[in-house]
A and B are shown apart, each in its own frame.
Chain A
């Protein structure tokens, strides 16, 4: 295996995407504030985008499709962040806290 051609091997990108997904899920489990969980969710989005781009670059017969999908993912992520932050700010107004342990009104 030629080390100098490392950036042209799909395995590097696929393993990196798996690592990003794992780090994102770890953050989603361990974070205790809503904004921290939002950041971890963005990491998971990035992992999905990187996987799309890798398969698009190396294995897709039409190399424009994956790029368009990643553009759509970016648009949806922007919309999701706008909604989630407005919800977080509304929660903070009502509860004076955005720690996920304090938001237990619906807990059975």
Chain B
């Protein structure tokens, strides 16, 4: 039936690889001591998320994720790393104190993970009877220019103001005195 032999297994292996990239990248981003490794972990995580979006029937969003996050956000953070000294300082707190805080943070996060996952798995989700459109790029473009045209314009204004504000804030210390 399938033109390629073992196509299902290939898809499963690819899916496992993408999920592993996402989780591994997130762990590296949150746990590494050197901040530049954290940025690389964020890049890995975003590439994995792009693959997940591809599996979720949205190749356009997959490309946008890689373009915006890997291409813009991570590169901007690398510039920030270059202009400051962001490495984690050595532990000044006592060992017991650190273990206490680490354990507390871990407890909170496990509680959040289990709670949110339980909500997601046990929620009364219902499949829709019909779909209005197929979710293609054409449908996204039509919705952006008709129903969502006001938020679309507002996002562009927000981006413009953010860039101008970033320039003003970062420039203020550079004038010659």
Contact = CB atoms under 8 A, between A and B. Distances in A.
A86 B165 contact: yes
A53 B155 CA distance: 20
Nearest to A65: B143
A83 B81 contact: no
A106 interface: no
A7 B120 contact: no
Contact of B86 (A21, A22, A33, A65): A33
Contacts of B144: 68
A20 B45 CA distance: 10
> Secondary structure of the A side of the interface?
helix
A32 B169 CA distance: 23
Nearest to B117: A18
Interface in B54-97: 55-58, 60-61, 64-65, 68-69, 72-73, 76-77, 79-81, 83-89, 92
Nearest to A12: B19
B19 A25 contact: no
Contacts of A12: 19
Interface in A71-99: 71-72, 74-83, 85-90, 92-94, 97-99
18 contacts: A13-B56, A17-B116, A21-B112, A23-B26, A26-B108, A27-B29, A27-B31, A32-B89, A39-B35, A42-B29, A57-B57, A61-B130, A61-B131, A67-B58, A77-B69, A78-B72, A86-B165, A86-B166
Top 7 A-B pairs ranked by shortest CB distance? A63-B135, A14-B120, A27-B30, A79-B162, A22-B113, A86-B166, A18-B116
